[in-house]
Amino acid sequence: MIARFLSDSSLRTKLTLLPIIASVFLLAMVGVFVTLTIRENALLKHIEQNTLGKIDRLMSLKDTLSQNHGELFALLASSSERWDEEQIYVRGKPRLYKIHDVGDALHALPASFTVSDNERRRIELLLKRLEEYKGQAISAIEMASVDLNLANKFMVLANDKYVIATKNFLELLNASKNETLDFIKQSREDFVTKTVSAGVIAFSGMTLLMFVSVRTANFVSDQIKAQIALMKRLSDGDTTVDVPVPDRRDEIADLMRGVGAFKTSLIEQEKAKQQAEQANIAKSAFLANMSHELRTPLHGILSFANFGLKNVADGERQKLKRYFHMITESGNTLLKLVNDVLDLSKLEAGKMTLDIRPVNVDHLVEKVIDEFRSLTMEKNITLRALPHTDNTRVQIDSTRIMQVIRNLTANAVKFSPQGGMVEISTHRQEDLLLVMVSDLGPGIPPSEIEAIFDKFVQSSKTSTGAGGTGLGLAICREIIAAHRGKIWAENLAQGGARFCFEIPTEASNVLVSGKAVVELAAQDSAA
């Protein structure tokens, strides 16, 4: 419970409650001690004033009693043969009359016990007085016995009234007085012991309180200093610092969590900054590429149009035709470039809607091979589909998947040497369709095998003079991702590269099935 209090309560509560609890504890201690002292003192005073006074009164009573007693015995002695303090002997025989029964004894005195009338009257008077004193003594004893531990002792005495008249009684009274004085002395000593222990406990309480206060203050100060140091390092840009996350719930813990959140946001900002910087670098590269790509065909269009203008009056028809042909080709290159840029920006903006239908991928491959026939003949490249028996009917957007196959084939043909060979193969692997396009070109440096799928990125092996903008593979990756598939490149052992993609054969429910919406231009990438 204390541990929970220390971990869960706020610092304000801790710093306020701890001294309050300790003060209440100390106050209670002092209160108990003061009450004890007051009561103790009152009792001791009472004993001194009443009890000792009563004992003194008893003692003086005893003196009076003893005088009467003495007189009585003197009288008895003159009348009887022999006496001692306890017994009266008549004619040699002990009569065993106790003194306090002397009244009864007097009446029972034998006839031989001669007492004159005068003597009898004195005896009777003395006996009466003795009885009176006894009565007073007994009530004094009873009163005294209320106050003292001596009570029992005195009650015993009171029951044996005779003892009052004996000298033992004085001894007992003296003993009682000494006992009472001892008791008072003992009590005073006890009182000192109690005072010292109460002081020790109060002092320990205060020490503990100071210890707890100092520890709490140190804890708070240390924690805040540590957080300040962390913040300093973070603000110096060192996001590698370890920011501990405590499971406590006080303000310091909140502060630590705040510093943690600060670090996270710094890291995110740093990441965003790096991404922005990279995007900026890529954009610069793209602009450089693009300006080159745009300028070359535009330059072609303008210069051939100029040639045409100059030669329009007397030029050979054949020459003019060639100019127009060049102008058309340059225009097409420009259009393709602009289309690629538009295409990718739409794909990236998530504006592509797929038109999913069952399609045989082998048919798409055949169509692409047909499209490249003249180009491959020009470069003396063999482009073919590998034979197989797999079922290649899948749920896809055929226009988009054909665009991918076309892009991969275009790259393979572009980077193949004269007389090279490009092969396209399709395989069904359970609920996946795998398509691979391989060539005998330069391959891709392993460190760039993933980066080439980023937009505007071209591999260091092919970037010299090969042309292109680095958008084709980025477009392919977007299309395959939209089909919940993946695309990758690998180098072949015998040289050359192989580009593969796989897609699920069943349209997953994230795809928009059967919806004939294709926003993008049908113009495909053939860079």
Ligand X SMILES: Nc1ncnc2c1ncn2[C@@H]1O[C@H](COP(=O)(O)OP(=O)(O)O)[C@@H](O)[C@H]1O
Write the binding mask 281 to 310 for Mg ion: x where contact by CB under 5 A, - elsewhere: ------------------------------
C-alpha dihedral sign at 211, 217, 218, 220: positive
Using rule CB under 5 A, residue 472 touches Mg ion: yes
Using rule CB under 5 A, residue 102 touches Mg ion: no
Q: How far is CA 20 from CA 25, 204, 250, 281, in A?
A: 8, 16, 19, 64
- Using the rule CB under 5 A, give the single segment among 148-156, 316-324, 344-352, 472-480 that binds Mg ion: 472-480
Write the binding mask 401 to 440 for Mg ion: x where contact by CB under 5 A, - elsewhere: ----------x-----------------------------
Q: Using an 8 Å Cβ cutoff, are 58 and 140 in contact?
A: yes
Using rule CB under 5 A, residue 485 touches Mg ion: no
- Using the rule CB under 6 A, give the single segment among 58-66, 195-203, 233-241, 462-470 that binds ligand X: 462-470
C-beta closer to ligand X: residue 43 or 434: 434
Using rule CB under 6 A, residue 300 touches ligand X: no
Beta strands in 142-293 (DSSP E): none
Burial class (CB in 10 A: 0-12, 13-18, 19+), 180: buried
State the binding partner of 442 from Mg ion, ligand X, none, CB within 5 to 8 A by kind. ligand X
State the binding partner of 404 from Mg ion, ligand X, none, CB within 5 to 8 A by kind. none
Using rule CB under 6 A, residue 472 touches ligand X: yes
Nearest-approach distance from CB 423 to ligand X, in angstroms: 12
How far is 48 from 42, CA to CA, in rounded Å?
A: 10
Using rule CB under 6 A, residue 473 touches ligand X: yes
Q: What count of other Cβ atoms lies within 10 Å of the Cβ of residue 292?
A: 11
Using rule CB under 6 A, residue 442 touches ligand X: yes
Burial 444-472 (b: 16+ CB within 10 A, else e): beeebbeebbebbbbbeebeeeeebbbbb
C-beta closer to ligand X: residue 462 or 505: 462
C-beta closer to ligand X: residue 427 or 461: 461
Residues 296, 301, 302, CA angle at the centre, nearest 5°?
A: 100
Of residues 117 through 146, those in contact with ligand X by CB under 6 A are: none
DSSP labels, 110-157: -TTS---HHHHHHHHHHHHHHHHHHHHHHHHHHHHHHHSTTHHHHHHH
* Bridging pattern class, strands 421-429 and 93-94: unpaired
C-beta closer to ligand X: residue 196 or 335: 335
C-beta closer to ligand X: residue 105 or 473: 473
Token reading at 374: 């003249």
Residue 485's SS3 state is coil
Of residues 415 through 434, those in contact with ligand X by CB under 6 A are: 415
Of residues 357 through 416, those in contact with ligand X by CB under 6 A are: 407, 411-412, 415
Q: How far is CA 168 from CA 63, 172, 189, in A?
A: 13, 6, 31
Using rule CB under 6 A, residue 439 touches ligand X: yes
How many residues touch ligand X (CB under 6 A)?
A: 22
C-beta closer to ligand X: residue 407 or 426: 407
- Using the rule CB under 5 A, give the single segment among 28-36, 239-247, 421-429, 470-478 that binds Mg ion: 470-478
- Can you give the binding site for Mg ion, defined by CB under 5 A? 411, 472, 527
